[in-house]
Amino acid sequence: MATIAERLAEFQAKRQQLLEKKEALVQKAVVEEGRSLDEKENEENAQLEADIKACDETIATLKAHEALQATKGKPVDSNAGRGEGAPCADSSPLITVHRNLPKGIAFTRYATALALGKGNIMLAHTLAENRYKDTPEVIQVLKAAVAAGTTSNSTWAAPLVQYQDMAREFIEYLRPMTILGRLQLRNVPFNIRVPRQTSGVTGGFVGEGSPAPVNKPQFDNITHPWAKVACITVITDELARLSNPSAEALIRDDLANGIAQYLDKRLIDPAYPGVANTSPASLTNGVTPQQSSGATLAALDKDVRAIMTTFADAEQGLARGVWVMSASSAIRLSMMRTNQDNKAFPGLTVNGGEFYGLPVIVSNNVTGSGSPGDQFLILINQSEIMLSDDGGIELDVSQEASLEMNDAPSGGATSLQSLWQQGLIGLRAMRYIYWTKRRSTAVQFIDKAQSYAS
Q: Which long-range contacts (CB under 8 A, 24 or more apart) does 134-139 make?
A: 134/99, 134/101, 135/99, 135/101, 135/105, 135/106, 135/109, 137/106, 137/162, 137/163, 137/165, 137/166, 138/106, 138/109, 138/110, 138/113, 138/162, 138/166
DSSP state of 82: S
Domain boundaries, the chain: 285-386+436-451
Q: Which of 372-376, 426-430, 439-443 shows the highest mean pLDDT?
A: 439-443
At residue 303, the pLDDT reads: 94
Confidence (pLDDT) at 345: 92
Which of 31-35, 190-194, 443-447 is predicted with the least confidence, judged by mean pLDDT? Answer: 190-194
First CA to last CA distance, the chain? 53
- The CATH code for residues 285-386+436-451 is 3.30.2320.10
User: Mean pLDDT over residues 378-403, rounded?
Assistant: 81
pTM equals 0.57
d(CA 303, CA 448) in angstroms, rounded, equals 11
DSSP state at residue 337: B
What CA–CA distance (Å, rounded) separates 33 from 82? 72
pLDDT for the residue numbered 361: 92
Q: What is d(CA 318, CA 331) in angstroms, rounded to the nearest whole number?
A: 24
**Cα separation, 382 vs 403, whole angstroms:** 38
Q: Residue 389: pLDDT above 60?
A: yes
| 242 beta partners | none
Range of lowest pLDDT (68-72, 174-178, 203-207, 332-336)? 174-178
Q: Could you tell me what percent of the chain has a pLDDT over 90?
A: 13
Between 156 and 344, the more confident residue is: 344
The span from the CA of 337 to the CA of 335, in Å, is 6
- Amino acid sitting at position 289: P
Confidence class for position 354, pLDDT limits 50, 70, 90: very high
Q: What is the mean pLDDT of the chain?
A: 76
Q: What is the pLDDT of residues 275-325, one digit of tens each?
A: 887 888 999 999 999 999 888 999 999 999 999 998 888 888 888 899 999
| Average pLDDT estimate for 6-20 | 83
Which amino acid, residue 361? Answer: I
